[in-house]
């Protein structure tokens, strides 16, 4: 067999661009074209994108290995009829039609059944321009081409059609025909219909010249596609009638809702819709640009990034780390359920808290921002949430999922909570079990893992619950459910855990009592909006406390850090290890104590970590383990089995990383022993080696090993660091500002 010969039937923009792309990318065979317009063929030859052509199909068919149908959808059937009679059985057939069901039906009518050598396809690319002259060899580069094979499609034919598009730079995927037609009706056909209709409606008005003269940006952007080929689009709407009508019905009810909001002057309803749309649009942009999404919610799996940490560097200066993650989550939750408007400052614009924010938008809450840490929440009251259109995706955020579980168990509607791969491995039975005791109906995946299906409309009863583990998330979940329950909900904790929920509920006027180890509230109350000032997150500050504590000559001040007594284990432990750490400017903001923390380098000693400090430093152990590696003597931690069910198994992840750097350690079920590398004689040099460390997608593991670089002898490569954005956007900027050299790169 000689070189392959491809025949393109219909030499317009789409067919011509395919020919141009094949030529540009070194296609070795012959490219033929059939078009009823002889001038188009001559133009194609003159442009050098086809070798020859004809207005008649049959003379071109002999010797063709592949025929690509690029005629309008309604013209496909006539071509298929002729191919059924005249084409060789070995010739592969594909098409580029924007609807697939109608073309499949036409092929069945023409051939008697769907030939296995027919691979229906649809390149998602185009332009409002028409004709071969507009051909663009780059039209398909980085664009998707959807192929819709069925079970009987010849795998070799599928492979060759796929290779054809890949050679033009396209990303090929497969889908079934019905799904394709539905998705395209929503994302392509409906917007074209709207653009045609809007331009036509305005053009009919008398003063049209006036209108178009002043119609600038918005009109131009929205209606660009109304310049598209009318015949092609008539065909598409005839061919994809049912799916288009379904999409149009949905759209009409959306417009009707907005119309009602405009009629009623309901600014909150408008804001809720516009906000949701604006965030969804920005998310869509990031998908197109393949960038990570920090200014909105996170729903996509990131491309993996690694940190290349140069050894040494300094850790001096004065910085402020971002807002507290726990308080940020709660500010949105309570603000949304409150009556009135809650103004938040210092909000953490990390992916975890943004996921919470986005989830409330999806339940109809109007939220402005975040903009430089400012968020305005238009509270809907305890019973004002609306059923979201789909599952609520909370990404990496365990706090969001567990607190939501309690809050959603009390709603009138059903919800589904999902998360990313890491969250999907984490235990949710610890909240689902006591919630069920309260009367909630919750299904989990195997082993009590996400997703959670929560049935609404249940009458919850208060509970008196002894928590088996010290968990602020479980406590908070039950207190939030307790607001929707009959009677009193009491939660007893085996050790003190962070008390932000209790403090903030009281701040919102919802009374929570506390005596000893027990917190309780009565169901049926309400929340009143008020301002919230989120302090800087001590869990984020911890990396810098440790950075300065281990770096000879360091003098670092961290401003406005939250020092809630249930969170200061890291301060107590570092001081017990000998760190020179002082608090200044202590005061209260919105019910939470804050201070500026100054750390100067001083040699550290290994210690037995006091059991009562473990829950108070639960998120700070990755950083503290680095301090331990830099101390003299051994640091011993026990009673910390909770570390095994965080964003990763933090005991094992840290042990593996420390081992990679040459730091001796012994792992225990509930803790670890770390043999510090500093001896008693003062030595300012490196204490351990460099190496390759896997953070396992856990933000705190990634940040801990970045800081470890300060006393490493060689470069440390930290893998899988994208999730640092869940809790600490801007981490690398601060690290560099203090004097470390870290480069982020694709891995």
Chain contacts with ligand S3P (rule: CB under 6 A): 326, 399, 471-473, 476, 498, 618-619, 642
State in angstroms the smallest separation of the CB of 611 from ligand S3P.
15
User: Where do the DSSP E strands lie in 110-154?
Assistant: 118-119, 121-123, 144-147
State in angstroms the smallest separation of the CB of 679 from ligand S3P.
34
Which residues on neighbouring strands pair with residue 452, listed in sequence order? 417, 444
| CA dihedral angle for residue 188, residue 190, residue 193, residue 197, rounded to 10 degrees | -130
The 10 Å Cβ neighbour count of residue 292 is 15
> Of the listed 35, 533, 619, 673, which one is catalytic?
619
State in angstroms the smallest separation of the CB of 605 from ligand S3P.
27
State in angstroms the smallest separation of the CB of 510 from ligand S3P.
17
Cβ nearer to ligand S3P, comparing 331 with 471? 471
Asked if omega into 451 is within 30° of 0 (cis), the reply is yes
Say whether 245 sits in a helix, a strand or coil: helix
Cβ nearer to ligand S3P, comparing 10 with 335? 335
Distance from C-alpha of 2 to C-alpha of 67, rounded to nearest angstrom: 17
Cβ nearer to ligand S3P, comparing 369 with 496? 496
Q: Where are the alpha helices (DSSP H) in 443-555?
A: 472-482, 500-507, 538-550
The edge-to-edge listing of strands for the beta sheet with 716-719 is 691-694, 716-719, 305-309, 742-746
Residue 609, both tokens: 């970590």
Residue 75, both tokens: 């013209």
Beta-carbon-side half-sphere exposure of residue 75 (alpha carbons within 13 Å)? 13
Cβ nearer to ligand S3P, comparing 502 with 673? 502
Handedness of CA 468, 473, 474, 476 (dihedral sign): positive
Cβ nearer to ligand S3P, comparing 619 with 694? 619
Cβ nearer to ligand S3P, comparing 99 with 356? 356
Cβ nearer to ligand S3P, comparing 100 with 329? 329
**Cβ contacts of 220 within 8 Å, gap of 6 or more:** none
* Concatenated DSSP letters of 433-450: HHHHHTT-EEEEEGGGEE
Distance from C-alpha of 241 to C-alpha of 356, rounded to nearest angstrom: 38
State in angstroms the smallest separation of the CB of 505 from ligand S3P.
13
Measured in whole angstroms, the distance separating CA 228 from the mean position of its chain's CA atoms is 34
State in angstroms the smallest separation of the CB of 644 from ligand S3P.
11
State in angstroms the smallest separation of the CB of 572 from ligand S3P.
17
Distance from C-alpha of 405 to C-alpha of 548, rounded to nearest angstrom: 39
Residue 588, both tokens: 């209260």
Distance from C-alpha of 499 to C-alpha of 576, rounded to nearest angstrom: 24
Is 324 catalytic? The answer is no
Report the catalytic residues: 619
């Amino acid at each position: 067999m000689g070189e392959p010969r491809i025949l393109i039937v219909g030499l317009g923009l789409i067919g011509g661009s395919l020919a141009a792309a094949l030529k540009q990318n070194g296609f070795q065979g012959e490219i033929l074209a059939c078009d009823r317009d002889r001038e188009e063929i001559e133009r194609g030859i003159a442009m050098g994108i086809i070798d020859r052509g004809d207005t008649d199909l049959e003379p071109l068919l002999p010797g063709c290995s592949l025929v690509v149908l690029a005629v309008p959808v309604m013209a496909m059937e006539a071509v298929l009829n002729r191919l059924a009679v005249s084409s060789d059985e070995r010739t592969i057939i594909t098409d580029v039609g924007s609807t697939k069901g109608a073309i499949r039906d036409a092929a069945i009518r023409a051939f008697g059944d769907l030939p296995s050598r027919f691979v229906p396809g649809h390149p998602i690319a185009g332009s409002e321009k028409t004709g071969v002259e507009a051909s663009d060899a780059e039209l398909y580069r980085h664009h998707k081409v959807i192929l819709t094979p069925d079970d009987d499609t010849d795998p070799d034919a599928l492979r060759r059609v796929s290779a054809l598009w890949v050679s033009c730079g396209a990303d090929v995927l497969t889908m079934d025909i019905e799904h394709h037609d539905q998705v395209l009706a929503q994302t392509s056909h409906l917007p074209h219909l709207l653009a045609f209709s809007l331009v036509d409606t305005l053009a009919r008005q008398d003063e049209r010249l006036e209108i178009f003269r002043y119609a600038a940006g918005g009109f131009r952007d929205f209606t660009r596609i109304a310049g598209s080929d009318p015949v092609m689009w008539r065909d598409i709407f005839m061919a994809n009638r049912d799916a288009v009508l379904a999409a149009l019905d949905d759209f009409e009810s959306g417009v009707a809702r907005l119309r009602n909001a405009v009629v009623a002057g309901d600014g909150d309803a408008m804001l809720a819709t516009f906000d949701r749309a604006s965030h969804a649009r920005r998310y869509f942009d990031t998908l197109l640009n393949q960038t990570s999404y920090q200014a909105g919610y996170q729903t996509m799996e990131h491309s993996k990034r690694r940190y290349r940490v140069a050894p040494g560097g300094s850790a001096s200066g004065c910085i402020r780390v971002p807002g507290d993650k726990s308080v940020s989550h709660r500010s949105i939750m309570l603000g949304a359920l409150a009556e009135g408007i809650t103004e938040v400052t210092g909000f953490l614009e990390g992916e975890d808290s943004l996921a919470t924010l986005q989830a409330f938008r999806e339940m109809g809450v109007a939220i402005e921002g975040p903009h430089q840490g400012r968020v305005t929440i238009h509270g809907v009251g305890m019973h004002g949430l609306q059923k979201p259109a789909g599952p609520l995706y909370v990404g990496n955020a365990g706090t969001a999922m567990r607190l939501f579980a309690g809050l959603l168990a009390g709603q009138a509607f059903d919800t589904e909570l999902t998360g990313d791969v890491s969250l999907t491995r984490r235990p949710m039975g610890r909240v689902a079990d006591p919630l069920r005791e309260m009367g909630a109906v919750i299904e989990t995946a195997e082993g009590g893992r996400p997703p959670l299906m929560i049935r609404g409309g249940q009458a919850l009863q208060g509970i008196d619950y002894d928590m088996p583990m010290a968990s602020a998330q479980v406590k908070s979940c039950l207190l939030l459910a307790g607001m929707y329950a009959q009677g009193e909900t009491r939660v007893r904790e085996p050790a003190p855990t962070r008390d932000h929920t209790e403090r903030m509920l009281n701040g919102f006027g919802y009374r929570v009592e506390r005596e000893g180890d027990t917190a309780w509230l009565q169901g049926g109350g309400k929340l009143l909006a008020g301002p919230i000032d989120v302090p800087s997150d001590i869990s984020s500050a911890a990396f810098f406390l440790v950075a300065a504590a281990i770096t000879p000559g360091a003098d670092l001040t961290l401003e406005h850090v939250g020092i809630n007594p249930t969170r200061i284990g890291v301060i107590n432990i570092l001081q017990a290890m000998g760190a020179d750490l002082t608090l200044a400017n202590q005061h209260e903001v919105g019910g939470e104590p804050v201070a500026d923390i100054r750390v100067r380098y001083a040699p550290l000693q290994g210690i037995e970590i006091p059991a009562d400090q473990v829950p108070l430093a639960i998120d700070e152990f990755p950083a503290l383990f680095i301090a331990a590696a830099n101390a003299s003597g051994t640091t011993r931690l026990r009673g910390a089995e909770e570390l095994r069910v965080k964003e990763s198994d933090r005991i094992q992840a840290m042990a593996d990383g420390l081992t990679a750097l040459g730091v001796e350690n012994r792992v225990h079920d509930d803790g670890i022993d770390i043999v510090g590398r500093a001896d008693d004689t003062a030595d300012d040099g490196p204490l351990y080696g460099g190496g390759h460390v896997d953070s396992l997608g856990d933000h705190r593991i990634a940040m801990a090993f970045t800081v470890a670089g300060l006393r490493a002898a060689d470069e440390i490569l930290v893998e899988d660091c994208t999730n640092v954005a869940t809790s600490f956007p801007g981490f690398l900027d601060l690290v560099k500002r203090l004097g470390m050299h870290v480069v982020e790169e694709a891995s």
